[in-house]
Amino acid sequence: MKSLLIVIAVLVFAQEPSLKPNMSGPPKSETPTSLSLEVKYNSNLAPAYIGVRGPEAKPRWIWVTQFIRSKQLAKGELPIHAVRVESQFNGETADVKISVFRGRSESFEREDQVAAYHIGLNEPTTIPELKSFGIEPFSLTLLNTVPPLPPPPTFENLTKTVEIVSVRSDNIPLPTYHLTLRNLSDKNIRALKVEVINDARPRLTALWQKEHDRPLIEAGGVLERYLPVAVAHKTATDYAPGVASSSTIRIRTAVFEDLTYDGDEDPACQYEKFVVGRRLWVKRLLPFVEQQLANPALSPQDFKQKFQSLTFELDDSEKTAQSAVSEKCANPDSFTNISTQALTLELNRDLDRIIKTRPAPPINFRAWLESHRDDYQSWLARLK
């Protein structure tokens, strides 16, 4: 299960074996909010916390795996590996969506919607719909608290090409480090492995990447990122978001566009596996998209239905290809299924938004698909 939890997200990170938060890119201009969502997903464990952004920003989400199963699934049902909780402030309440990820073995083949709620401030809300999925109900609470600032961190930089420019401690809506890094090399960095150790215990590990494998930090460029470091602290009556007494930020590996690396080898091997899976997915998808664009009666419903029958299988020569990173790396095709399934889930989610939510202004699906085709073509060029 551990390999799956590292791979499935498009931006890859793992806070704990049970908790996966989505991490922001460079800080963007948005209305600040002190709201956070408390997620109680297991009565034997401390809750998780995510910041709640305003309507002008993309919603934040986490997915948890150490939930309590209340019953066995029916024979033939795909196992549930994770529960996803997404939240966004709408001006009055928090819009919260809950879904589950299913799949054979460790894979995420399908996302099923569970429920949607509007949660008011300090109103604990139970999610009973999870019972029908064989999961003990979660309890969610929208908070408006000001937690403490995280302590000044220490650093361990295992690279020579990444410079730590600055770090700032923030606590609104939750404790985070605002980290600024510089690429000292003459090559673009595609991925960066960063870890946080709280009170001598691993807290967060992230393989930072940009969407569609664009350069994360251009040669000589600067990257700004947030590192969420909130921990649940026990109070007299419950829990509250808090911080560790000490934190260490470790810059472990930088991976370049040519798959050379600076630092530890393992993260570079891991990134190469993503590249193999993503390249396969885009190579198979592009001809399908062109075929659908030739259909005068193109519709998102028809496109999604046909897309589900698309398969992603490496050629024999690709299955036996040696690693371009190091002979010590495992065969780079080992994450192919997980990578392609994650991208398929993401595209299905985008299609569902178009089909079911009818966003305003209305989307011209042909223009949307043509734009995505152009992006996919550029993406494939970067993956060669």
Residue-wise pLDDT tens digits, 224-270: 999 999 999 999 999 999 999 999 999 999 999 999 999 999 999 99
Residue 358 has pLDDT above 80, yes or no: no
Nearest to 47 by CA among 69, 88, 22, 18: 18
| pLDDT of the residue at 213 | 96
| pLDDT of the residue at 103 | 87
31-51 in b/e form (b: 16+ CB < 10 A) is eeeebbbbbbbbeebebbbbb
Average predicted confidence (pLDDT) for the chain: 89
Do residues 256 and 270 both lie within one domain?
A: no
Choose the weakest-confidence range: 37-41, 108-112, 136-140: 108-112
Do residues 254 and 288 both lie within one domain?
A: no
Do residues 339 and 293 both lie within one domain?
A: yes
| pLDDT of the residue at 33 | 67
Do residues 8 and 138 both lie within one domain?
A: yes
181 assigned to some structural domain: yes
pLDDT in tens, 44-57: 999 999 999 888 88
pLDDT in tens, 170-204: 999 999 999 999 999 999 999 999 999 999 999 89
| pLDDT of the residue at 27 | 45
Do residues 76 and 172 both lie within one domain?
A: no
Q: Among residues of the chain, what percentage have pLDDT more than 70?
A: 91
Determine the average pLDDT of the residues in 320-324. Answer: 87
Task: Report the domain count for the chain.
Answer: 3
To which H or E segment does residue 226 belong?
strand 222-228
Do residues 233 and 133 both lie within one domain?
A: no
75 or 163: which leads in pLDDT: 163
- Confidence bin at 1 (pLDDT 50/70/90): very low
Residue 34 has pLDDT above 90, yes or no: no
Domain extent for 68:
2-144
Do residues 275 and 176 both lie within one domain?
A: no
Residue 19 has pLDDT above 60, yes or no: no
Do residues 169 and 87 both lie within one domain?
A: no
Alpha helices in 111-250 (DSSP H): none
14 assigned to some structural domain: yes
Within 13 Å and on the Cβ side, how many CA atoms surround 175? Answer: 22
382 or 24: which leads in pLDDT: 382
